[in-house]
Amino acid sequence: MTTIIAVSVIASFIIAAAIGPALIRYLHNMNFGQKILSYVPEHAGKQNTPTMGGFMFIISITLVTILTNVILVRSISIQSFTVLLLSLCYGLIGFIDDRTKIRKAENEGLTSKQKFALQLVLALVFLSVLHMGGYLLPSLYIPFAGVSLNIPWLVYIVIAAFIMVGCNNAVNLTDGLDGLAAGVTLPVAVYFIVIGVISNNTPVVVFASALAGGLAAFLIFNFNPAKVFMGDTGSLFLGGAVAGLAFACDQPIALVFVGLIYVIETLSDILQVSYYKATKKPVLDENGQPVRDAKGNVKMQGKRIFKKAPIHHHFQLCGWSEKKIVLIFAGITVVMCVLAYFGTAPHYL
């Protein structure tokens, strides 16, 4: 296991770091630049920064996962390649989204319904493959409680698909600052390396190690000030990777702990939108009459819980630097991963 971890991490790091500069030049020459939303003026200086840089770690993780399994492990693992394939398919959704944004020259790609449908189908296929291969049982292990809840397969697959799609979108939502998604996901990858080792799950160790090495290299180019963004190509790949690893370890509930930042980012966005809609009222002029837009529609205005959502934007508007936010969020994730270890390790030891 030590050799597998060392080789996978180092090889993935070297490959990603080596192709990074060439990939950034290519993306720049192809004018694959990120378009900044008008309601995020604090990021105006990042306009046209090359996006789809997620290919940097996607390529390294793919190559290392395949070669490590073939050369070192000398076996073809359904778990390892299923998680890889799931991540690649989610990354493909992100790539389509990124290409649509670039073609339209704006920060709007696939619709939320299109994304959800594609993500849901992939989740159902992934879960079914693992279940038919005997790698996934319809039970949920509850960390710290030390118990597993056995539930009907149809109920389980609905819950599991919801967790997977939610995780995928949560990681995507977290990718809002330089180095944030990669910085938070790196300790999560290390957590799954440890869980893979104590559970003697070599496929998980291989993929998680490649993930850790690739992300570490990507942060060289993505940490503030970022030379490249991962784009939806990278963030949806990461969402698939994290969710896939959780189910390959049969530890989906552990995502609540190790992915606490993902959860907080998502909840902050949901609360902001919900509260805004619930408190929405017509905008009145000085005479108390409703203000109308160019189309004659009454303008509406609601209240907000945060200065801006997701919550990383709130802290940014509170005066925190991007580096401070990333380091604190990554630090919280490290603490939660350690906590999750003590809650899940007894299941294997």
Q: Which residue did the predictor score with more confidence, 222 or 33?
A: 222
Work out the average pLDDT over 85-106. Answer: 87
Write out the two tokens for 106: 């704006």
The predicted pLDDT at position 36 comes to 54
Label residue 256 by pLDDT band (50, 70, 90): very high
Q: How far is CA 164 from the centre of its chain?
A: 11
Work out the average pLDDT over 63-75. Answer: 91
140 bridge partner residues:
149
What's at 52, amino acid-wise? M
Q: Give the integer Cα–Cα distance in Å for 342 and 165.
A: 26
> What is the helix (H) or strand (E) element at residue 273, kind and residue range?
helix 260-278
Work out the average pLDDT over 335-339. Answer: 97
3-class state of residue 53 by DSSP: coil
Asked if residue 284 lies in contact with residue 237, where contact means CB atoms within 8 angstroms, the answer is no
Asked if residue 282 lies in contact with residue 299, where contact means CB atoms within 8 angstroms, the answer is yes
The predicted pLDDT at position 103 comes to 80
The predicted pLDDT at position 348 comes to 76
The overall average pLDDT reported for the chain is 90
Residues 331, 344, 206, 337, Cα dihedral to 10°: 0
The residue with tokens 């925190």 is: 320
Write out the two tokens for 249: 């370890």
3-class state of residue 295 by DSSP: coil
What is the per-residue pLDDT across 159-192, written as a single tens digit (0 to 9) for each?
999 999 999 999 999 999 999 999 999 999 999 9
Q: Record the pTM.
A: 0.91
* Burial call 302-323: b when 16+ CB within 10 Å, e when fewer: eeeebebbbbbbbbbeeeeebe
Q: Give the integer Cα–Cα distance in Å for 173 and 312.
A: 10
Look at residues 45, 51, 94, 63 and name the one whose alpha carbon lies nearest to residue 207. Answer: 63
Residues near 323 by beta carbon (within 8 Å), at least 6 away in sequence: 179, 223, 224
Q: Give the integer Cα–Cα distance in Å for 200 and 197.
A: 5
Label residue 31 by pLDDT band (50, 70, 90): confident
Highest mean pLDDT among 7-21, 64-78, 111-125, 288-302: 7-21
* Burial call 143-162: b when 16+ CB within 10 Å, e when fewer: beeeeeeeeeeeebbeebbe
Res 107 pLDDT > 70: no
Work out the average pLDDT over 230-244. Answer: 95
Asked if residue 337 lies in contact with residue 188, where contact means CB atoms within 8 angstroms, the answer is yes
Res 349 pLDDT > 60: yes
Asked if residue 199 lies in contact with residue 348, where contact means CB atoms within 8 angstroms, the answer is yes
The predicted pLDDT at position 145 comes to 86
Burial class from Cβ neighbours inside 10 Å (0-12, 13-18, 19+) for residue 262 reads buried
The predicted pLDDT at position 137 comes to 83
Highest mean pLDDT among 9-18, 108-117, 339-348: 9-18
